[in-house]
Chain A
């Protein structure tokens, strides 16, 4: 099946620094990708929709200047957590649908971010 990768798998950074997380669709093109955030023992919360060739759309309550999303190509979306703070520590997961809503969405393995 289709594969979505994320890099890095885990990252530790100091408070105030920025962290970039990459999401790649390895064997299919994705004009749309999604970024989720998952706190320990909690569900996935959709943060934003990454659109190739246009601006990302953010869910209510998600700061677009805090979480910068760039969909550079049909196989790559990046999420940059700017000026990270300890409360940004979380598990970030991306997903991409292969084609059409009735197709499967494939999820990346996630990136564990720890901000000290």
Chain B
């Protein structure tokens, strides 16, 4: 069975500072990995995804994530956060049947 762990429930970061959100997964085969962002009252928006190839994945809004098979991790990073990055972030792992398993989410607060 596939599962995702996001160890950090809540992260507060200053505007302009760097951000890293952790994600660990458990999956028997090569995982399909995703990061989604959910703003209050909004649907989920895909930030980036990894299926194969280059382990450093670039996404929208200046985000990137690195797949590390040896650590079963897919951490999300952004060099300099903006106040608009305050949101809930979900890591997810997908399988061949299209189903997604989500982590519990990390709430990001950006302080001025």
Chain A residues proximal to chain B, CB less than 8 Å: 4, 32, 34, 41-46, 49, 93, 95, 97, 101-102, 104-110
Contact = CB atoms under 8 A, between A and B. Distances in A.
A101 B90 contact: no
Given A93-B44, A107-B43, A110-B43, A101 B104 contact: no
A11 to B, nearest CB: 15
Interface residues of B, number: 23
A interface SS class: strand
Interface in B44-95: 44-46, 49, 51, 90, 94-95
Nearest to A109: B43
A6 B18 CA distance: 35
Contacts of B99: 34, 46, 49
B32 A43 contact: no
B43 A101 contact: no
Nearest to A100: B98
Contacts of A43: 90, 102-105
Given A32-B98, A102-B32, A108 B43 contact: yes
A36 to B, nearest CB: 8
Given A43-B104, A110-B43, 20 more contacts: A4-B43, A34-B99, A42-B105, A44-B44, A44-B102, A45-B102, A46-B99, A46-B100, A95-B100, A101-B97, A102-B32, A102-B51, A104-B46, A105-B94, A106-B46, A107-B36, A107-B44, A107-B45, A108-B43, A109-B43
B13 to A, nearest CB: 19
Nearest to A32: B98
B101 interface: yes
A95 B46 CA distance: 12
Contacts of B43: 4, 93, 107-110
Given A42-B105, A43-B105, A107-B43, A34 B90 contact: no
